[in-house]
Amino acid sequence: MSPYIPLTTVDLALAAIFLVLNALFSILLQLRLERQLVVSALRLVVQLLLVGLVLKTIFTLASPWLTLLAASVMVAFAGREIWARQDRRLQGLWGIGLGGGAMMLAGTLITVFALTAQIRPEPWWSPQFALPLFGMILGNTMTGVSLGLDTLHTAMHRERAAIEAKLLLGSTRWEAVSTSLRQAVRSGFTPIINSMAATGVVSLPGMMTGQILSGVDPQEAVKYQILITLLIGGATGLGVLAATLASVWRLTDRRDRLRLDRLAPPSS
């Protein structure tokens, strides 16, 4: 028996039937979501087909420089997504650099640790292991960082009067923004906490499901999923903490003044 069941183009087309059905419901109910559904599905197909070709080439060449280039492109796109998902952003290069930098730092640190200490491929930067692992860690860290920064900036703008009152009464900048900071960190941690709590009971993660469908022993698939989930949780936490603390530092100064003028106007 083959370790996996190959899929044909017809199989993929059949899987799209229910998405088309959702688009029809959108038209009937006048939800105006049909265009977004179709465009998103087309982007999904085109992007994944292109990624498949690129990864096949990178895996074949097994070059550390191509691996690094691919990882850099992933970081650039993820950094842009963090910036785009914030209603109120830091102005200038800080807007995209702070969130992207925190995500890259946390994701790179955790990925290198996993490759060298646990998975240990030969060579350790093998693109077949490094890029999928980095992608999973980066994607989840991106979500946490974007939520954390968006919550922080919104909360600091909303609570501006209260924060400035605390500063006038002698509080340090960290004491004055502590409530907003805690809200932001909780918001950034929430997705991964929910994911870890529900995994195995409510949902079977995609990576584990894919390994099982490809013929991997379920117990081995479970071990890998536990490893990946714990790594994602660690990277998300580090990224959220680094991004929110750095943003508080940027939105205040050494004289314990609030600098919300460094925030850009709300995105339309």
For 209, residues 6+ apart whose C-beta sits below 8 A from its C-beta are none
Whole-number pLDDT of residue 267: 66
For residues 211-230, give the mean pLDDT.
86
Residue 2 has pLDDT above 70, yes or no: no
Whole-number pLDDT of residue 268: 57
Of the candidates 51, 115, 106, 48, the one whose C-alpha atom is nearest the C-alpha of residue 82 is: 106
Parent domain of 44 = 1-61
Give pTM, 2 decimals: 0.86
In terms of pLDDT, which residue wins out, 199 or 14? 14
Instruction: Say yes or no: 168 and 82 in one domain.
Output: yes
Q: Which of 46, 61, 76 corresponds to the end of one domain?
A: 61
Instruction: Say yes or no: 41 and 77 in one domain.
Output: no
The vertex-57 CA angle with 56 and 63, nearest 5°, equals 120
Q: Which of 44, 61, 78 corresponds to the end of one domain?
A: 61
Q: Which of 45, 61, 77 corresponds to the end of one domain?
A: 61
Residue 167 has pLDDT above 90, yes or no: yes
CA terminus-to-terminus distance, the chain? 55
For the four alpha carbons of 130, 131, 134 and 136, in that order, the dihedral sign comes to negative
Give the chain's domain count.
2
Instruction: Say yes or no: 14 and 142 in one domain.
Output: no
Instruction: Say yes or no: 137 and 168 in one domain.
Output: yes
Please check whether residue 232 is in contact with residue 192, taking contact to mean a CB–CB distance below 8 angstroms: yes
Instruction: Say yes or no: 217 and 112 in one domain.
Output: yes
For residues 57-79, give the mean pLDDT.
94
Q: Which amino acid is at 143?
A: T
Instruction: Say yes or no: 174 and 234 in one domain.
Output: yes
In terms of pLDDT, which residue wins out, 213 or 174? 174
Dump pLDDT digits (tens) for 179-197. Answer: 999 999 999 999 999 988 8
